[in-house]
Structure 1
Amino acid sequence: MAEEKLAVLIDADNVSYANVREMMEEISKYGNPTIKRIYADWTKPSLSGWKNVLLENAITPIQQYSYTTGKNSSDSALIIDAMDILYSEKVNGFCIVSSDSDFTRLATRLREAGMTVIGFGEKKTPQPFISACNKFIYLEILKSRAPEGKVEKKVAKSKTDGELLKKVDQGTVQLIIESASDLADETGWTFLGNLGNFILKKKPDFDPRNYGFPKLLPLIRALKKFEIDERESGQGNIRHIYLKLK
C-alpha cells in the first residue's frame, strides 16, 4: 500500500517554532509530508526565530505582507494554496497547523473533497476548528514523553510541567465506555484496534497523550473498568487486544 502524501501548511502567526521538530516527527506517522509551507510576514523581527527551524526541516517560507493593521493576511494565502494543492491532486491529505478558527471552513471543504485533515494547534484552539478535522493534536503534548511503567499514576493526577497532561475526566471515561459498547459484539467484546478510530469520529482531539499515556491500552488498563483479552491472530506472533466492560 502506497504511503499517504501530505501537504503541511503552517500558520506562523498562531503557533510557536518550539514544537516544530516534534510536530514533523508526529506527521511522519501518518504519511510523507511532500509539501511543507509556512505563511507569515517574514519582514517582522518577531519571526526571526523561525529561520533555523525552517532550514532544519526543509519548510518553504511563503511571504505574505500585512497590508492592513490587525488583519491576518497569511490566512488567505494559506487557504488559496490549500485549494490549489487540492485541485492538483498531488496529495491524499492535509496537516493544517494553527490555533485559529479561521481555518474551520477550509478543513470542512477539504474533507468534503475526500481529503484526510489532521489539525495541529495549541490548547486554546477553538472547538469548531478541532471538530472540522479528522484528528486534532495539541502541540503541548508532543514534548510529553511519559515512561510506560509509570503512566498509571497519571490517571488520578493533574500535572502540567508546562505540558498538556490532565486528569481523565468523567466525560472522557463515559466516551470510552459508550464507544466500546457501540462496537461490542454479541458477547460484549470490543476489538481495541477499532475503538481508537471510532472515538476520534466522535471527538477529533481525543488522544491518550493528553492524559499522560503513550497509547490507548495503558489508559484503558488504568481506568480499571474493562476486562482485557489478548488473542492470537493466527498470523505469526501478532496478538489482537479485546476488551469488555466489567
Structure 2
Amino acid sequence: MFMAQEVDLKIAVLIDADNVSSSKIASILDEVKRYGIPSVKRIYADWTKSHVVGWKEPLLTHAITPIQQYSYTSGKNSSDSALIIDAMDILHSQQVDGFTIVSSDSDFTRLAIRLRESGKLVIGVGEKKTPKPFIAACDKFIYIEILDKEDAKPAPKTKVPAETVDTATKVLKPASQGTPEYEPIGRELLDLLKASVNDVADEGGWAPLSAIGGLLNKRKPDFDPRVYGFSKLTPLFKSLDEHFEVEEKSTEKTKIKHVYIRIKEAQKAIRRRAKK
C-alpha cells in the first residue's frame, strides 16, 4: 500500500466544510496520521450560515482553525477560492511536505495538480461522487464512506470464487441497515491486480506485496482494499486464491514478515518452460 515511510511528514489539512459532515472529521484526521503529522488544520465556510453550526464542537476538539469566507454571490461557493489561496501561501512557505484536500468538488483538480508539480504529496478525501479528474490529480484518494469503522461490517472471511468475479460496478453506499455496501471484485480490478503483480515480479513470478501496493496506488489513486471489504491488501489477495498464491516469510533475526504474491497462471507457465 502507498503510505509514507517517514511518519514525521508535515501535512496541511484543508477542509471544505460544505462538502463533508462534521461527524467524519475524527476518522479523516486519523487517516491522515497514517501518512504523517497534520501540522496545519484549517476549515473553510461561511460560518454565519446555519448548516455549519454542527462544526463548533469538532473544531475545538481537534484544534482546527476556522476560516471565515462570506458568500458574496448566491449559489457560488466562495470557500473554494479561500482554500486555494491559502494552499498556495502554505506551499510557498515551504513548511509542509504534503497536503490533504477534504472535498468532493472538482474545482480543486488544478490545485492538486499544481501542488504535485511542486513535489508535494497530495491526498484527497471525498465521497464516491467525487469527479474522476480530481481523484486522478491526487497521489492518493480516500473515500469518506469507508472511514466510518463503527458502521463498517467485518471483512469477508470466505474466499471469492472465480465465478463471482465479473465486470459489474457498484457504488459504495449506505445499505438500508446503515452499514456500507462494498464493491464486488470485478474483472477490471482483477486485471489491474494481475498486471501489477506481473510488473514487479521476479523471474520466479513472485512479487513483494509492498511493491504491488505502491504500483496499484500510482495506477489507481482511489484504490483501497477497504472499498471491497478488506482491512488490508493481504486478505484481499488471499480471498482470490483461485487466481493468486500468497507466501509469507520472516527473517530469524528481525522476525519481520514479508508477503509475496504470484499469479497462478505464471506458476503454470514456469512449469511448462521447465519441461521443454
**TM-score band, normalised by shorter chain:** over 0.9
Deviations along 1:84-106, one digit per CA (max 9) or x if unpaired, are 00010110000000000000000
TM-aligned CA distance change 1:107 to 1:235, over 3 Å? farther
Counting only pairs closer than 5 Å after superposition, residues 184-223 of structure 1 correspond to structure 2 as 184-223=201-240
- Structure-2 separation of matches of 1:93 and 1:152: 38
* Corresponding residue number in structure 2 for 1:120: 125
TM-aligned CA distance change 1:93 to 1:153, over 3 Å? same
Percent of residue pairs identical:
55
- Structure-1 separation of matches of 2:55 and 2:28: 14
Q: Residue 6 of structure 1: which of 7, 11, 15 is its match?
A: 11
**Match status 1:168 vs 2:185:** yes
* Amino acid corresponding to residue 240 of structure 1 in structure 2: H
**Match status 1:72 vs 2:77:** yes
Counting only pairs closer than 5 Å after superposition, residues 47-66 of structure 1 correspond to structure 2 as 47-66=52-71
CA RMSD of aligned residues (A): 1.9
TM-aligned CA distance change 1:99 to 1:151, over 3 Å? farther
Q: Report the alpha carbon displacement of residue 231 of structure 1 after superposing the two structures with TM.
A: 1.9
Q: Report the alpha carbon displacement of residue 151 of structure 1 after superposing the two structures with TM.
A: 4.1
SS in 1 for 2:147: helix
Tell me which structure has the larger Cα radius of gyration. 2
Deviations along 1:122-154, one digit per CA (max 9) or x if unpaired, are 010000000000000000000144445x44468
Aligned length: 245
* Corresponding residue number in structure 1 for 2:51: 46
- Structure-2 separation of matches of 1:228 and 1:2: 28
SS in 1 for 2:8: coil
**Match status 1:138 vs 2:115:** no
> Residue 106 of structure 2 contacts residue 131 of structure 2 at CA under 8 Å; is this kept in 1?
yes
Q: Residue 177 of structure 1: which of 194, 219, 225 is its match?
A: 194
**Match status 1:242 vs 2:247:** no
* Corresponding residue number in structure 1 for 2:267: none
- Structure-1 separation of matches of 2:7 and 2:197: 31
> Residue 14 of structure 1 contacts residue 98 of structure 1 at CA under 8 Å; is this kept in 2?
yes
- Structure-1 separation of matches of 2:52 and 2:159: 39
* Corresponding residue number in structure 2 for 1:226: 244
* Amino acid corresponding to residue 248 of structure 2 in structure 1: E
> Residue 152 of structure 1 contacts residue 218 of structure 1 at CA under 8 Å; is this kept in 2?
no
Q: Report the alpha carbon displacement of residue 180 of structure 1 after superposing the two structures with TM.
A: 0.5
Q: Report the alpha carbon displacement of residue 234 of structure 1 after superposing the two structures with TM.
A: 5.2
* Amino acid corresponding to residue 37 of structure 1 in structure 2: R
Moved more, 20-29 or 204-213: 20-29
Q: Report the alpha carbon displacement of residue 37 of structure 1 after superposing the two structures with TM.
A: 0.1
TM-score normalized with structure 1 length: 0.94
- Structure-1 separation of matches of 2:40 and 2:235: 34
User: Which ranges in structure 2 are unaligned for 5 or more consecutive residues?
Assistant: 1-5, 265-276
TM-score normalized with structure 2 length: 0.84
> Residue 154 of structure 1 contacts residue 211 of structure 1 at CA under 8 Å; is this kept in 2?
no
